[in-house]
């Protein structure tokens, strides 16, 4: 299981670099198109279409990394007051619900990709299945991550602090991360 966990971590690092590349291409295309329109009264024809597709892919890949890092916001007001057993039950239920939603997204994205495989995009002429493939990649990636998390939960590999995998706000998450980093540094010295 640790090998799979390390592999998922490496996969997410590759996705992060891919997202950086996608964002850079989007910036160049959009900025280049603006400059071309105002300075030379022309434009890059594929700019809007490719930028739109890259944005969709960027969003879905970012969500994959967010699932891996448990970075999505949620409400922990009630669950944080529970004991370890109730926290575990709530976590298992939420993971099963997330797996179900992931399955729905996978089946819908797969069907749309198959339906639109022969449909060409208006400007690039590429298959519009590329657009829907982002949902397939997201669902397969996060499905695997959720299964690993579910296994860790059911097998008792999570500490009491890890049983609540969401934060009320980004500010609280950053404060807790700083606190954890400071306490780890303190322990080393």
- What SS3 state is found at 90? helix
Query: Is 189 a member of any domain?
Result: no
Distance between CA atoms of residues 150 and 159, nearest Å: 14
Q: Residue range 116-140: average pLDDT?
A: 91
| 50 CB neighbour count, 10 Å cutoff | 19
Pick 48 or 187 by higher pLDDT: 48
| Nearest in space to 166 (alpha carbons), one of 79, 55, 64 | 79
Query: Is 186 a member of any domain?
Result: no
Global pTM reads 0.80
pLDDT at 167 over 70: no
Do residues 148 and 8 make contact, with C-beta atoms less than 8 angstroms apart?
A: yes
Give the CA count within 13 Å in the CB-facing half-sphere of 24: 6
Q: What's the pLDDT at 102? A: 96
CA 10 to chain centre: 14
Query: Is 15 a member of any domain?
Result: yes
Number of domains forming the structure of the chain: 1
Structural domain for 170, as ranges: 2-179
Query: Is 94 a member of any domain?
Result: yes
| pLDDT tens-digit readout, 4-55 | 778 888 999 999 999 999 999 999 999 988 888 888 888 778 888 899 999 9
Query: Is 184 a member of any domain?
Result: no
Q: What's the pLDDT at 125? A: 85
Mean pLDDT taken over the chain: 85
Query: Is 187 a member of any domain?
Result: no
Query: Is 23 a member of any domain?
Result: yes
């Amino acid at each position: 299981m640790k090998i799979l966990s390390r592999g998922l971590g490496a996969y997410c690092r590759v996705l992060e670099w891919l997202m950086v590349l996608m964002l850079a291409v989007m910036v160049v295309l959009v900025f280049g198109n603006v400059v071309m329109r105002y300075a030379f009264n022309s434009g890059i024809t594929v700019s809007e279409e490719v930028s739109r597709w890259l944005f969709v892919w960027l969003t879905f890949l970012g969500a994959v990394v967010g699932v891996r890092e448990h970075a999505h916001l949620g409400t922990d007001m009630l669950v944080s007051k529970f004991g370890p057993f109730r926290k575990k039950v709530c976590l298992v239920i939420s993971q099963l619900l997330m797996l179900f939603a992931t399955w729905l997204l996978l089946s819908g994205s797969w069907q749309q990709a198959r339906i639109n495989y022969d449909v060409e995009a208006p400007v690039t002429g590429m298959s519009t299945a590329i657009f829907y493939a982002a949902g397939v990649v997201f669902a397969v990636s996060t499905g695997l991550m959720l299964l690993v998390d579910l296994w860790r939960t059911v097998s008792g590999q999570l500490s009491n602090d890890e049983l609540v995998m969401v934060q009320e706000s980004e500010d609280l998450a950053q404060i807790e991360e700083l606190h954890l980093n400071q306490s780890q540094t303190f322990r080393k010295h």
